[in-house]
Amino acid sequence: MYKLKIILVAGARPNFMKIAPLMEVFRSRQEIDPILIHTGQHYDRAMSELFFQELGIPEPDVNLGVGSASHAVQTAEIMKAFEPVVLSEKPDAVLVVGDVNSTIACGLVAVKLGLKLIHVEAGLRSFDRTMPEEINRLLTDAISDLLFCSEPSGVENLRHEGVAEEKIHLVGNVMIDTLLKNREKAERSAILDDLHLNSGGPYAVVTLHRPSNVDDPAMLERIMGVLEEIAREMPVVFPLHPRTRSRLEEKRGRRSLFLLDPLGYLDFLKLMAHARIVLTDSGGIQEETTILGTPCLTLRENTERPITVEMGTNRLVGSDPRKILGTYREVMAAPQTSGRIPPLWDGRAAERIATVLLAGP
């Protein structure tokens, strides 16, 4: 029997939740031979190794071990390391997910070697080209042969950009596949006990990592001031992305916040599920809180995931302290209600992707 040989690329923490269900489904199909490549874009234990263990992702067939660098250097190093692997493995296709540097780097290598490129989570647009991720999304979609969309806005964006209809497939959200599969397991996490948050009282969860929020010291200081204001009313749990930790001063003067190292997937899922509110600039967390029914304030002026605002619990608040605090108070004064679940966010996105791939041509 001929097997469809596909290289799947994972590089950074958001990729792992998307790769996990794809690897599981592909390995269950006799007609698919999946090969997992980890570029090493995120390489410390909490950002990488722990996720593989918790999500049951098999050990990568190859770890390129690229590590961190500037956008240009990192993208170039990934391309240089990935090309020999592709030449050796001779796959039928390369599958990339999301919008990180590994996505565009490996996509370019695949296309220049004449291979079919598959993009999972295609078509998302913030319409803000100052975001490195937006450039990665636009370029990857422009060179992809199959584009799998997680929400209807992705389909409309690709049509508007002139992508052929037969290339576009609305399949749902593979990251939600992972959340739904692991939700019960996450409930067994002891993170609330560890942080003494098990009394049932409200608490907030924060994540920040985007350059627009953390690279400007004045902007970061304004946001930290808002978080300390909220911390007067409830505990604020803030797992620090390595980028954010490097920008923050010593913990001196931040005693009102729970500043933590990055958490594993299951601990963080439990933390979000029981939070009264989440404040973030992450795209994926906007999606996860939509499913969990946890109110989310997105500290950005735009989102590439508009369905989380239209149907979910997400609100765009930008970075103005008055707007953040005003919306926070609105949310706290209102009864906590869940939004609607977006179409096809049902835990079967990876199965739909496999079905399309096996249908050919």
- b/e burial code for range 257-269 (CB count within 10 A of at least 16 → b): bbbbebbbbbbbb
Q: In the sheet that 62-63 helps form, which strands lie side by side, from edge to edge? A: 62-63, 32-38, 4-10, 93-97, 116-120, 146-149, 168-170
Residues of the chain with CATH 3.40.50.2000: 4-173+345-359, 184-333
- Give the Cα separation of 260 and 224 in Å (integer): 15
- Give the Cα separation of 236 and 206 in Å (integer): 7
pLDDT of res. 253: 47
pLDDT of res. 41: 73
pLDDT of res. 42: 62
Rg (CA), the chain: 20
Query: DSSP labels for 34-93?
Result: EEEEE--SS-SIIIIIHHHHHHTPPPPSEE-------HHHHHHHHHHHHHHHHHHH--SE
Q: Whole-model pTM?
A: 0.94
> Which two structure tokens, joined as six digits, stand for 130?
């100052």
In the beta sheet, which residues pair with residue 205?
A: 237, 278
Q: Residues 6 or more apart from 150 whose CB is under 8 A from it?
A: 121, 124, 171, 172, 173, 174, 175, 287, 345, 349
Q: Residues 6 or more apart from 226 whose CB is under 8 A from it?
A: 321, 324, 325
Looking at domain 4-173+345-359, its CATH architecture is: 3-Layer(aba) Sandwich (3.40)
- Give the Cα separation of 251 and 240 in Å (integer): 12
Q: How many CB atoms lie within 10 A of CB 306?
A: 20
In angstroms, how far is CA 15 from the centroid of its own chain? 6
Q: What residues are labeled active site?
A: 209
**Average pLDDT, 10 consecutive residues per value, the chain (361 residues):** 92 89 97 95 62 86 88 95 98 97 97 98 96 96 98 98 98 98 97 92 93 84 93 94 67 68 93 97 95 96 96 93 96 87 97 95 68
Instruction: Yes or no: say if 238 and 254 are a contact pair by the CB < 8 Å rule.
Output: no
Which helix (H) or strand (E) segment holds residue 333: the answer is: helix 321-333
- Give the Cα separation of 283 and 306 in Å (integer): 10
- CATH superfamily, domain 184-333, is Glycogen Phosphorylase B; (3.40.50.2000)
**Exposed (0-12), middle (13-18) or buried (19+): which is 138, by Cβ within 10 Å?**
middle
- Give the Cα separation of 209 and 294 in Å (integer): 20
Cα angle for residues 308, 310, 311 (degrees, 5° grid): 70
Q: In the sheet that 236-239 helps form, which strands lie side by side, from edge to edge? A: 257-260, 236-239, 204-207, 277-280, 296-298, 314-316
Q: How many CB atoms lie within 10 A of CB 142?
A: 14
- Give the Cα separation of 95 and 101 in Å (integer): 14
pLDDT of res. 51: 78
Instruction: Yes or no: say if 302 and 316 are a contact pair by the CB < 8 Å rule.
Output: yes
